[in-house]
Amino acid sequence: MRPLQFTLLTCALAHAVLQFAAATSDEAYPPPYGLDQPWTVSTTADDNLVPVRREVYGGGRIIDISHRYHPDMPSWESPDGLGNFLWLAKSMKNGSLANNSEMKLPAHTGTHVDAPGHVFDHYFDAGFDVDTLDLDVLNGHALLVDVPRDKNITAEVMKSLNIPRGVRRVLFRTLNTDRRLMYKKAFDTSYVGFMRDGAQWLVDNTDIKLVGVDYLSVAAFDDLIPSHLVLLEGREIILVEGLKLDDVEAGTYSVHCLPLRLVGAEGSPIRCILIK
């Protein structure tokens, strides 16, 4: 490695670490809808009205890799986050028999899935919506891999990952996780994603049918549409975006992702878990 390269890499790493430190210290993940307590609280016998919010279940056997939906989560190209998407349309305090919330949110919010109709109009018209996605692809053995932190996902990066043939589901953890981008309200175009040649390499040289990433788009902003086109054209690959991959060891798991059966929608919020 030449000295210049070394210096650049060192700077990039130091920068990432600094950003990470800043993100964890002063941008605490905002409290979710209706709750202003820390999320790590646990129930005690005396105070059983305190809800428990978990990242893992069953002593770590089940890992939740979905993000919580809340007003301060990032939303595509919005500087102000998702905003209020959920409201109490009927409330017991106002005499209703029960509390009933309503919501309105873009189909590609938070942890979500893309269907082929997202970038192909003729697929959209033909009905390739999220209800037609193959649950066999969305559920099964999966590999969680760490992508080099200094590049977008190019053909060269894909090649360097050495993902064996036969692997059908891969979750790609990138610099986005280190930068905690999914916990920042302002949309950030500098997120890491697939460049067109990386997407093409995946299609041509791997058996991957489930592609999971850790920010709102599988494609780098600079190759937004080209990368989506390459991945979705064959209608075999399913894209799961906005995954929460913090504090999970790289390795093999069983992944389980279930979209809503939204007829006519080219995207859907999705709940994804890993089982050890």
Ligand X SMILES: *[C@@H]1O[C@H](CO)[C@@H](O)[C@H](O)[C@H]1NC(C)=O
Q: How many CB atoms lie within 10 A of CB 245?
A: 21
Of the candidates 186, 176, 193, 187, the one whose C-alpha atom is nearest the C-alpha of residue 227 is: 193
Work out how close the CB of 227 gets to ligand X at its nearest, in angstroms, rounded to a whole number.
10
Kindly tell me which of 64 and 223 has the beta carbon lying closer to ligand X. Answer: 223
Piece in contact with ligand X (CB under 6 A), picked from 89-97, 132-140, 225-233, 252-260: 89-97
- Considering the rule CB under 6 A, would residue 156 count as an interface residue with ligand X? no
The stretch among 19-27, 48-56, 138-146, 150-158 that binds ligand X (CB under 6 A) is 150-158
Write the binding mask 42 to 81 for ligand X: x where contact by CB under 6 A, - elsewhere: ----------------------------------------
Q: In angstroms, rounded to a whole number, what is the distance separating the alpha carbons of residues 150 and 246? A: 18
Rank residues 13 and 263 by Cβ distance to ligand X and give the closer one: 13
Element spanning 175, H or E: helix 175-178
The reply to whether 221 sits near ligand X by the rule CB under 6 A is: yes
Residues contacting residue 75 through CB under 8 Å, at least 6 positions apart: 81, 82, 83, 106, 109, 187
CB of 89 to ligand X, least distance (A): 8
Among 192, 210, 213, 230, binds ligand X (CB under 6 A): 192
Q: Is 190 in the site for ligand X (CB under 6 A)?
A: yes
How far is it, in rounded angstroms, from Cα 245 to Cα 121?
32
Cβ contact 209:237 at 8 Å: yes
Minimum CB distance to ligand X, residue 139 (Å): 30
Q: Which is nearer to ligand X, 40 or 94 (CB)?
A: 94
Distance (Å, rounded) from C-alpha 157 to C-alpha 152? 8
The residues in 93-112 that bind ligand X, with binding defined as CB under 6 A, are 93-94, 99
In the bound complex, what is the minimum distance in angstroms from residue 95's beta carbon to ligand X?
8
| Tokens coding 127 | 């009905």
Stretch of 43-51, 92-100, 202-210, 262-270 lying at the interface with ligand X (CB under 6 A): 92-100
Query: In whole angstroms, what is the distance from residue 207 CA to residue 261 CA?
Result: 26
Among 135, 222, 225, 234, binds ligand X (CB under 6 A): 222
87-113 b/e (C-beta count within 10 Å ≥ 16 → b): eeeeeeeeeeeeeeeeeebebbbbbbb
150 binds ligand X (CB under 6 A): yes
Residues that contact ligand X, how many (by CB under 6 A): 15
Contacts of 92 (CB under 8 A, 6+ apart): 98, 99
Which amino acid is present at 81?
Answer: G
List residues binding ligand X (CB under 6 A). Answer: 88, 91-94, 99, 150-152, 175, 190, 192, 220-222
